[in-house]
Structure 1
Amino acid sequence: MADSTIITLISLTVTVLFMLGTPVLLVIFYWVVGCSFVIGLPLDNTGAEMLNVFNKGFALLAMPLFILTGDLINKSGIARRLSDFAYSCLGWLRGGLAMAAIGACGLFAAISGSNSATTATIGSMLHPEMVKGGYDERFSAATAAAGGTVGIIIPPSIIFIVYGFLMNLPISDLFVAGIIPGTLMVVGMMVTCFIICSINGWGYLIKLSFERVMKTAIGAWLGFFAIGLVLWGIYTGKFSPTEAAGVTVGFCIIVGLLSYPMNKIMGTDADTPVADKSVSSMFVVEGFTPFEIPSIVVRSAQITGILAPLIAVSVVMQQVLSAMGAQDTIGNFVTSMGGYYPVLFTAMAMVFVAGMILESLPVTIILAPILAPITASVGVDPIHFSVIFLVGASIGFITPPYGLNLYVASGVTGVPYFRLLRYSSLYLISLIAVWIVVALTPELALWLLPNR
């Protein structure tokens, strides 16, 4: 039997396994091992290369730290304060609570760097409130799923760390380049949310109160400080992304440990809305005890334990694809389009299709090393293309049949996956529109970079 036929059978087999629910890590690993046998690559190369990924990947240390940051700000109550602030600013508009959920996703993303953590945290907090406020439960869950897409675009971003590591680009530059496109994604989804809610008459309006805005802003000051700390440190070059992650983790632990006893002393109820708290208690969050830290760390380690092996095995997959000539084949196809825009939009189409069936991490590790050099050869700025690529990958989080955020939102809200699609598709349209604008306007990604 010809090698190409065997590889085709292996590919079909792992595709079936993926459709049956086999974890992506195992699917890729089975494919790598099977194809290595066929093309004659020694299996000890697989183990050595997977280990080598982490031996030379200092930048990857930021990934588990930012994951831990997301869990700490959720447990400490900082995330709740940020969502309260967003609602106080937007609750006077039709669909204000849903728009606040999207805004809270943007604020949470500016500390955590994870799409699934953003969706899970904001979805679990605000979905019940939205349903009580008269919103359709399907729309409420879809809003949390769509809002989570900015988790990997607004810095800090775990996937930007991986992209910068793979493509040898300054991660701090990638972080800064994601600020404006990520903000546009939030604005685009808010506009969509406002239109949907206005048509359906969803949501109870609250009076815009300067006092309420100021109270919730004071209550969220620790969250704002954490966001500013990360962006200031990276933008000014005071911190590397890894150092920024470590500093943020330390800040969140200190805040959480100090806030818990202070709340006990003040006798503050954690369930009391920020706007109803005393002035003194607004300056501290709910916090946590030292005994809760191990469980928080274990949860973060579990997520890291899923992502880290996936990075390693995907790098080996990239090598196998290269040995098979797949990279040359794809490269020749894209190059044959000819010209700046045909090549760029062909690359975007490939990212979009890949995002429909794969998570952003394997999409990035497999396609970025192929497409980035090709687009650079026709004049696309590497930093600009990184933003284009990852905005496209983030859209895949709400694109069936994979749509990771849809699964996460379904899990935390109890709304069946397929019932989310009606409203998530409307958010998908707005995100694609923003994606095209970002692709056609390099300044949106490069304007904040001092050397561009």
Structure 2
Amino acid sequence: MDTGMLLWLITAGVLVLFVLGVPIFLVIGFWVVGASMAIDFTLANVGVTLFEGLNFFGLLALPLFILTGDLIAAAGIARRLANFAHACLSWLHGGLGLATIGSCGLFAAISGSNAATTATIGGIMHPLLVKDGYRSHFAAATAAAGGTVGIIIPPSIIFIVYGFIMNLSISDLFIAGILPGVLMVLSMLAMCWWRCRKENMGTISPLDMRNVLTTARRAYLGFFAIFIVIYGIYSGVFSPTEAAAITVGFCLVAGVFVTREIKWRELPDILLRSGQLTGMLAPMIAISIVMQQVFGLLGAAETVSAFIAWFGDGKVVVLLACMAIVFAAGCILESLPITVIFAPILAPIAVSVGVDPVHFSVIFLVGAAIGFITPPFGLNLFVASGVTGIPYMRIVPSVLIYLAGLLVAWMLIAFVPWFSLGLIPVR
């Protein structure tokens, strides 16, 4: 049997495993080992690369930012941010829905995880939304859509992974995600306002500046945590890894001694939850390095490049083709495997036609983030369903309006590089 046929059989076999629900790490791992054997690539390299792939100081930020998300939820900081967002937006149509999206943006500026953003804000806001007259499925869809910015607004777990895989500055990536994240939030706010105004959902309250100032004062811990991350990295005072460590320390002290909502006996459970997520992500990062090597030997980049060139070789055509691939992948895969599989292939192609590598990273990851609300996979839709109890298929129709707004924002981010590069110091 020739090598090509053997690779197709291995690929078909792991696709069956994926459909059957085998963890994605094992699916990719089986493919990597099988493909390595098929092309006579030494298996000793797999073990060495798995170890060396994680032997990198910058990756320490990954578990620390995951822990930060769990700490701010447990410390009550997320709830205080949500109260502030509602105080600011309650005078508009759909004020509580708008506050849900705004809360997701604020939470994302500390946590770096889409699932944590959806679960935490959805758990807080969904009962309030339903009580205020919002349709339950629309309320769940709002939390799911708002969670998409969890991996774009810094700090971002997936930006750390992308920067590591593609050898880019994580600080630059964090800064590049600020304006695109804000643009995504604004697009969802506009969609939420339009839908709520059209269907008369929610109640409108007069703007009370005293309430705004009161909730802002109570949410000062969240604002300070955001300030630590963004100012520290932007100014160069400390690296993303150091920012993560400082933020964890701050949130722990705030939760235990200031809000007093974190009890010492709860810390082991919080650490365990964070460790479980880290234990899922770290092996994926390690195996991605081996996969890149196998793809390189198989000439995957050249094959995809030839496929894209078939549509044309202009910058716009290449970008649209790359975005189409990412969008299609987002319908069936989570952001981590999308990044692991497609970033090493698509990024060099985009750079070859003149796209800045940092700009393309934002384009790529915004597309991956949109995948969190695109069926049939749509991870945030499953998270929102689990948190709210609303069936998955009831949430899907209500999320389409947010999907439309995010696609418009994605196009602006892709074809107006300033949104990604405007805040980065001259390199």
Q: TM-score, structure 1 length as denominator?
A: 0.92
Contact persistence 1:315–1:366 (CA under 8 A): no
2:18 aligns to what? 18
1:325 aligns to what? 299
1:281 aligns to what? none
1:314 aligns to what? 288
2:47 aligns to what? 47
Q: Percent identity?
A: 58
Q: Could you tell me how far apart the structure 2 residues matched to 1:9 and 1:419 are?
A: 37
Q: Secondary structure at the match of 1:41?
A: coil
2:266 aligns to what? 292
Paired AA for residue 396 in structure 1: G
1:143 aligns to what? 142
Aligned pair 1:217/2:191, yes or no? no
1:343 aligns to what? 318
Q: Could you tell me how far apart the structure 2 residues matched to 1:438 and 1:82 are?
A: 27
Q: Secondary structure at the match of 2:183?
A: helix
2:386 aligns to what? 411
Q: Could you tell me how far apart the structure 2 residues matched to 1:421 and 1:8 are?
A: 34
Q: Could you tell me how far apart the structure 1 residues matched to 2:350 and 2:302 are?
A: 14
1:450 aligns to what? 425
Aligned pair 1:245/2:244, yes or no? yes
1:91-110 alignment runs, 5 A limit: 91-110=90-109
Q: Secondary structure at the match of 1:357?
A: coil
Contact persistence 1:142–1:424 (CA under 8 A): yes
Q: Secondary structure at the match of 2:331?
A: helix
Contact persistence 1:255–1:287 (CA under 8 A): no
| Structure 1 residues 11-42: Cα deviation after superposition (integer angstroms, max 9, x where no partner) | 22222222222221121112222222222223
Q: Could you tell me how far apart the structure 1 residues matched to 2:389 and 2:297 are?
A: 44
Paired AA for residue 195 in structure 1: W
Contact persistence 2:254–2:260 (CA under 8 A): no
1:265 aligns to what? none
Q: Could you tell me how far apart the structure 1 residues matched to 2:178 and 2:340 are?
A: 22
| Structure 1 residues 320-365: Cα deviation after superposition (integer angstroms, max 9, x where no partner) | 2222222221123234521211111111111111111111112112
1:222-237 alignment runs, 5 A limit: 222-237=221-236
Aligned pair 1:9/2:9, yes or no? yes
Aligned pair 1:80/2:68, yes or no? no
Contact persistence 2:101–2:189 (CA under 8 A): yes
Structure 1 residue 68 displacement after superposition: 0.2
Contact persistence 1:335–1:374 (CA under 8 A): no
Q: Could you tell me how far apart the structure 2 residues matched to 1:396 and 1:52 are?
A: 30
Contact persistence 1:356–1:401 (CA under 8 A): yes
Q: Secondary structure at the match of 1:305?
A: helix
| Structure 1 residues 393-435: Cα deviation after superposition (integer angstroms, max 9, x where no partner) | 1111111121111111111111111111101121111101000
Aligned pair 1:401/2:401, yes or no? no
1:273 aligns to what? none
Q: Could you tell me how far apart the structure 2 residues matched to 1:329 and 1:335 are?
A: 10
| Structure 1 residues 247-289: Cα deviation after superposition (integer angstroms, max 9, x where no partner) | 0001011111212xxxxxxxxxxxxxxxxxxxxxxxxx34312
| Structure 1 residues 207-266: Cα deviation after superposition (integer angstroms, max 9, x where no partner) | 21011101000010010011011111000000100000000001011111212xxxxxxx
Structure 1 residue 109 displacement after superposition: 0.3
1:135-174 alignment runs, 5 A limit: 135-174=134-173
Q: Could you tell me how far apart the structure 1 residues matched to 2:52 and 2:305 are?
A: 26
The more displaced of 23-32 and 108-117 is 23-32
Q: Secondary structure at the match of 1:88?
A: helix
Q: Could you tell me how far apart the structure 2 residues matched to 1:21 and 1:95 are?
A: 38
2:343 aligns to what? 368
Q: TM-score, structure 2 length as denominator?
A: 0.97
| Structure 1 residues 374-405: Cα deviation after superposition (integer angstroms, max 9, x where no partner) | 21121111111111111111111111121111
Q: Secondary structure at the match of 1:135?
A: coil
Contact persistence 1:105–1:122 (CA under 8 A): yes
Q: Could you tell me how far apart the structure 1 residues matched to 2:26 and 2:38 are?
A: 18
> Any gaps of 5 or more consecutive residues in structure 2?
none
Moved over 6 A (4+): none
1:163-202 alignment runs, 5 A limit: 163-202=162-201
Q: Could you tell me how far apart the structure 2 residues matched to 1:253 and 1:179 are?
A: 25
Contact persistence 2:151–2:159 (CA under 8 A): yes
Q: Could you tell me how far apart the structure 1 residues matched to 2:45 and 2:219 are?
A: 50
Q: Could you tell me how far apart the structure 2 residues matched to 1:10 and 1:381 are?
A: 35
Q: Could you tell me how far apart the structure 2 residues matched to 1:411 and 1:9 are?
A: 36
Contact persistence 2:94–2:193 (CA under 8 A): yes
Contact persistence 1:94–1:205 (CA under 8 A): yes
Q: Could you tell me how far apart the structure 1 residues matched to 2:38 and 2:103 are?
A: 49
| Structure 1 residues 124-172: Cα deviation after superposition (integer angstroms, max 9, x where no partner) | 1111111111111111111111101000100011111111112221111
Paired AA for residue 24 in structure 1: I
| Structure 1 residues 72-114: Cα deviation after superposition (integer angstroms, max 9, x where no partner) | 0000000000000001111121211111110000000000011
| Structure 1 residues 20-67: Cα deviation after superposition (integer angstroms, max 9, x where no partner) | 222211211122222222222232322221111011x21111010000
Contact persistence 1:406–1:417 (CA under 8 A): yes
Q: Could you tell me how far apart the structure 2 residues matched to 1:41 and 1:97 are?
A: 56
Q: Could you tell me how far apart the structure 2 residues matched to 1:257 and 1:410 are?
A: 31
Paired AA for residue 440 in structure 1: F
- Count of matched residue pairs: 426
2:396 aligns to what? 421
Paired AA for residue 234 in structure 1: I
